[in-house]
Amino acid sequence: MSTAVLESYPTAEFDIPSDISAEFGAREEGNHAVFTIGQKTFRLDKEKARARMAGKRVINGERSAELNVLPLKYHEAYRIYKQMKANHWEPDVIDMTKDCNQWNSDALSPKERWIVEMGVGYFSAAEGIVGDSVLHVIEDNLTAAELKHASLRQIAEESIHMDSLLHIIGSLNIDIDEVTAKFQDIPSIRKKNAFITRHMPELKRGMDLTQTVDKQKFAKAIFGITQVMEGTQFYALFAMILSIHRQNKMTGIGQMFQYTLRDESNHIALGRYLLEQLVKENPDIWTPEFREELVAFMAEGVELEKEFVRDCLPEDAVGMSLGEFLSYVDYNADRRLASLGLPTLSNVKENPFLWLDEVIFLKKEKNFFETRVTEYQTSGSVQNASEDDLI
C-alpha cells in the first residue's frame, strides 16, 4: 500500500530563547521549563507534551475533552482542512435567473431535463448519506483532534451541498414529491443507496476497535464512503450535468456542481489519507483477504453505478455518449484503487472527459458562460495539491 510521505518534524527540545530567559528568568530544569514572573514561578512539564504527541493515533488514541489539535501530528489532514475552508462557498449567491428561464422554456431537450431531475433526485439523498456516515461512523471513532476537525469540516460541506439542492429545487419550482420519489422508486438509485448503507446500522452501534475484524469494518466504511461513493459513484452524473453546462445551459446549476466537485476532491483525499495512516498504525488490517474484499466492494459499486448511468442516459444525447460515461466509471474506480495500491478492475487508462479540467478550474476560459462567480476561493488560499482528483 502506498502511504503519504509525512514531513519530518523534529521533536522539539523546547529551548527557551535568550530574550525570554533574560526577561522572565526562564531556565531549564531537567524535563521542565521554569518561568519566574514577578513573585510567581511556573513549571512546565515538557515530557507531558511529548507523551501527548506519542498518544495521538487515528483510532484508539488518547481522547481529550478540549479537542486540542496541539501538538499537531497529522499535518496532511490539517492541510486538507485548510483547503476545504479556503474553498468555502454559499449556494444562495449563485444567480439562477438564466436557469429558471431555460427550465421554463424549450431550451432543454427532454433528455437534458431528465438528467437534471436525476441529479437533484439522487444527490438529495446521497449527500445526506455521506454526511450521516461521516458523522456517526467515521468522525466519532477518530481520536486525533486534527483528524476530527477535518472530518467535521467535511460534514459541514455536505450540509452546503444539500442546501444547494434545495436552492435548485426552490429556484426551478421542481415538484418535491417527484424528487422524493426518485430516490425511493427508481431501482438503480435505491440499490446504490442500499449498497453503501447496508453495514452502517451495525457500525453506528459501536465497534471494538481493538479487534482486527472491527478495525477492518471501520477501514471499509472509510473506503466505501470516500472512494467508492464520493470518488466513483458521484462522478458520472457530475460529468453529465457539466456537459449540459458546457453547452451554455443551466449555468447556475453547473456552477454549484463545479464547487461541489472541487469539495469532493478534498473528501476523497482526506479519506485516502485516513486509510493510509490507519493501516500504517494498524498493519493487521491490511491482509490479502481484506484487500480482495475492498476490490470486490468497488466492483459491486461499479456495476450498480453503470446501471444508474444507463437510467440517467438511456441513449446518447448531444455532446454525451453513454459509452464514454460507462468508461468514465471504470476510469474513476481504477484510479481510486490504484491510489491505495490495490489491483485495478479494467483497462481504461485515459480519462474520456479531459474537458472537465477546464470547466472546473476555468483555466482557459474565464467568466465561462457569463457566470458571476468564477474563482470561489478565499484570499490567501492555495490551489488543490492534486487537481487530477477532479477530472
Q: pLDDT tens, 187-236?
A: 999 999 999 998 888 888 888 999 999 999 999 999 999 999 999 999 99
pLDDT tens by residue, 47-95: 777 777 778 899 998 877 667 777 889 999 999 999 999 999 999 999 9
The pLDDT score that the predictor gives to residue 1 is 57
Order of strands, sheet of 32-37, starting from the edge strand that comes earlier in the sequence: 27-29, 32-37, 40-45
The pLDDT score that the predictor gives to residue 25 is 64
CATH architecture label of 76-390: Orthogonal Bundle (1.10)
Cβ atoms of 254 and 168 within 8 Å: the answer is no
Q: From CA 145, how far away is CA 389, in angstroms rounded? A: 26
- DSSP-assigned beta bridge partners for residue 41: 36
The pLDDT score that the predictor gives to residue 13 is 45
The pLDDT score that the predictor gives to residue 17 is 54
Q: From CA 316, how far away is CA 389, in angstroms rounded? A: 26
Residue 13, classified by CB atoms within 10 Å of its CB into exposed (0-12), middle (13-18) or buried (19+), is: exposed
Divide the 391 residues of the chain into consecutive groups of 10 and give the mean pLDDT of each group. Answer: 40 48 66 77 74 84 76 93 94 95 95 93 91 94 95 96 94 86 85 92 89 97 97 95 94 94 95 98 98 98 97 84 95 97 94 78 42 45 43 40
Q: From CA 61, how far away is CA 64, in angstroms rounded? A: 10
Chain position carrying cell 444547494: 164
The pLDDT score that the predictor gives to residue 68 is 78
